[in-house]
Structures are given as structure tokens and as C-alpha cells.
Structure 1
Amino acid sequence: MADDEFGYTAWGRDWVRLAEPLSLIKPEPLLPRARSIARNNAVRTEIEGTMVRAHIHRGSEASVTHLELTSLPRATIEAIAAVVPADTLTLSDELHAAVIGAGISVTPVLAGTDCSCRARGARCLHMLATCYAVVRLIDENPWLALDLQGYRSAPPDTRTDAPVSIPHWTPIDALDPAVYFG
């Protein structure tokens, strides 16, 4: 695993599973192209809280992809803080092993994905390329693996144990025309 281009740190390997889940029963034909796009720096990412926005340009096509991650529950954040010293500058593989050894899961969970491409599926080429681009960023800075899950973003007293779910779409019958157009 040390020779892998994506996920060469323990923190990055957790994130590779977003693109390469173990539950797949057949090979994913888009993975080699997605790795190539990420490898050639064709993914421009913008990170804001637990949201990743990626702009991907390939030839004459351009796509915007959004990945939204669920936030870690307060109990998990407190458990990680008990294992990882507060003055830690770089998260090492040993700290990852200590977190996992303490029974804490830091595996990311996608809350939602969206892409402007024509694929119409949740696992399009652009989503996979964005996952690989994020893995490269995490391999460079492992703190990003926790920050994308809300580890250091909100004050401790405002975090809740239940992840907040923001609906991606609003059903049309949920809107009141008098309020909407008034």
C-alpha cells in the first residue's frame, strides 16, 4: 500500500473508500480515468466547512461537482480529542492507529453529491475524480480528513450528537404560493 499514489497515508486510505468502496461487486470502469484526471491536476477544489466544490475541465467539457460530508457527532469529536494531543501539528499514521485502536471511526460519510454533468448518477466520473483530488490533499495535510467532517469548525457547545441533514431538494407541494410569491 506504500506505493499507492492516492491514499499513501492512513488518513487518506479512509477517504479512498469513497471512490473505491469495498461493497462494489464488479470493477468500476471509471476509476482509471478519474485517477488520471486527479493525477494531472485537472480538478480545482474549493473547501468550505464540510462541503467540497470541484471544477473539472476536460477538453471542451466543464463540470462542477459538490460533495457534502456528514459532521462527526460531539461524542466522537470528544473521543478523538482525548486521543490526539491538542498541540499536534501533523497527524501521523500512529495517531490514526491510536484513534482506530480506541474504537473511534473516522471514516467519512457522504451526506450528498451533485454534479452538473450529463451522467445522472451519484457516482459519475467527476465525483470520483473529486474524491481522488481530496485524497491527495489529505495525504499532504491529514488534518483535512477531520476538518472536512467538522472536527475544528464549530464551537464545542454548538455541536449536537445527531448529524444535521439539509434537504437537497424542496418538494414543490411543500411551498405555499401565497408566501413564496407574496
Structure 2
Amino acid sequence: MSDPYGRTWWGRKWWRALETIGLNYPDQRIVKGRTLAGHAAVTGLSIEPGSVTGRVSDGNGTFAAEIRIPVYNSSAWAAGMTALSLSPSCVAGLLAGRLPKRIDDVLAETGMRLLPKKFVTEDHNRITTSCPCADNREVCAHIMALALVSAAKMDDDPWLVLLLRGGPTRDLAGRLRAARLASMDAAQPV
């Protein structure tokens, strides 16, 4: 049976970034988080710019869990869209409705990264969490369940990854075209 969480590279990378905060399989928080996710214990899932929120229920109650990651501002995204528009493989992937594997490499040229490789302390990639349960560690079973369920949702809708980092999600083809034209105009001699 295949893993229902992180079927795509971006979904896997999202929840595995949380695993790097002191978790190693078979840490019971991962096991319990998978159990909660598999039993539909996460409700009210919301993915918005900078945060993933949801209510996670277990035998001890229902907890409002949140995962936060900084968003990039509009000027960073303008530079990012220009870089993406100049990468044929990125344009092809995005127009096909998926996130190309090279997207983070291309965005890194502008100082951006959609999904952190691991839990990091740099401000622009720093993931923080909150859950009012009794487990006061950065990643509890409720946060793990939220990460897994949100990864499955991101698998189905890759634009949620862009949304999470404050990026454009509408008219991506038009935005890529406009960014490419603007970069070509800027390169023209006066």
C-alpha cells in the first residue's frame, strides 16, 4: 500500500521538514500522528499564506494546531516569477499543473525556497508550530497529523504550496508570460 501522505515530492518535503525537528522514525509522535491522520482526526484544515491550521482530536480532546512559515513579499515573488519564467522546465511543469523538481533550485537563485530542506533557523525558512496539548515539544502528534493531512492536500493541489509562501496562484501562465516579457524588455539595449 502506498503512503497517502506526500505522494508528490513537494508533499513529502513538507511533512518531512517537520520530522527534522528532533524526530526519528519510529518516534511515537510520528506513529500517533499517522494514526490520527488516518482516522480523520484532523478537521477544519486551512492552508493560507504563512500558516496551516486545523483541529486535531484524540482521546484527550480537540486541539487547535498551527504550523507557520514566513511568506515572501511581492518584490521577492516578482524576482522569483522572472527566474521561473526563464526556466523552460519550470514553465512546462507549472503549465502542466505540477511543481517541477527544479523549482527550488531556480527560486534559490533569487534567495527563495518554497519548502525547507529541513527545519532551519533562517528567518525566511523557519517553521514554527503551536498546539495547546500537554506535549510541549515543537512537534507533537497533533502537529504531525496536521502536517500529514496538509501534505495530502498539497499533493492534490500544488498551488497550495505557492499560497503557503505568499505566492501567486491565479493566472500563473499570464504571470509567467508577463515576467518573461519584462525581463526581455529590461535586457534590451536603450
TM over 0.5: yes
Assess if the C-alpha contact under 8 Å between 1:18 and 1:131 holds in 2: no
* CA–CA separation in structure 2 for the residues paired with 1:22 and 1:111: 10
Q: Is 1:7 paired with 2:6?
A: yes
Q: Is 1:21 paired with 2:42?
A: no
* CA–CA separation in structure 2 for the residues paired with 1:69 and 1:145: 11
* CA–CA separation in structure 2 for the residues paired with 1:15 and 1:72: 17
Query: Quick one: structure 1 residues 125 and 23, their matched pair in 2 at CA, closer, same or farther if it must change by over 3 Å?
Result: closer
Q: Is 1:52 paired with 2:59?
A: no
| Structure 2 unpaired stretches of 5+ | 117-124, 170-174, 176-190
Query: Quick one: structure 1 residues 39 and 122, their matched pair in 2 at CA, closer, same or farther if it must change by over 3 Å?
Result: same
SS in structure 2 of the partner of residue 96 of structure 1: coil
Corresponding residue pairs, total: 150
Q: Is 1:135 paired with 2:142?
A: no
Residue equivalent to 1:122: 138
* CA–CA separation in structure 1 for the residues paired with 2:35 and 2:24: 23
SS in structure 1 of the partner of residue 54 of structure 2: strand
* CA–CA separation in structure 1 for the residues paired with 2:41 and 2:56: 6
* CA–CA separation in structure 1 for the residues paired with 2:81 and 2:57: 36
Query: Quick one: structure 1 residues 151 and 14, their matched pair in 2 at CA, closer, same or farther if it must change by over 3 Å?
Result: same
Query: Quick one: structure 1 residues 61 and 22, their matched pair in 2 at CA, closer, same or farther if it must change by over 3 Å?
Result: closer
AA in 2 matched with 1:80 = L
Residue equivalent to 2:115: 107
Query: Quick one: structure 1 residues 110 and 129, their matched pair in 2 at CA, closer, same or farther if it must change by over 3 Å?
Result: farther
Query: Quick one: structure 1 residues 78 and 128, their matched pair in 2 at CA, closer, same or farther if it must change by over 3 Å?
Result: farther
SS in structure 1 of the partner of residue 34 of structure 2: helix
- TM-score, normalised to structure 2, is 0.65
Worse-superposed segment, 128-137 or 49-58: 49-58
* CA–CA separation in structure 2 for the residues paired with 1:25 and 1:59: 24
Residue equivalent to 2:29: 30
| Structure 1 unpaired stretches of 5+ | 157-182
Assess if the C-alpha contact under 8 Å between 2:33 and 2:142 holds in 1: yes
Assess if the C-alpha contact under 8 Å between 2:42 and 2:56 holds in 1: yes
State the Cα RMSD in Å: 3.0
Q: Is 1:152 paired with 2:159?
A: no
Query: Quick one: structure 1 residues 81 and 131, their matched pair in 2 at CA, closer, same or farther if it must change by over 3 Å?
Result: farther
Assess if the C-alpha contact under 8 Å between 1:63 and 1:115 holds in 2: yes
SS in structure 2 of the partner of residue 146 of structure 1: helix
Residue equivalent to 1:88: 95
- TM-score, normalised to structure 1, is 0.68
Worse-superposed segment, 44-53 or 69-78: 69-78
AA in 2 matched with 1:51 = S
**Residue identity (%):** 25
Per-residue deviation, 1:116 = 1.3
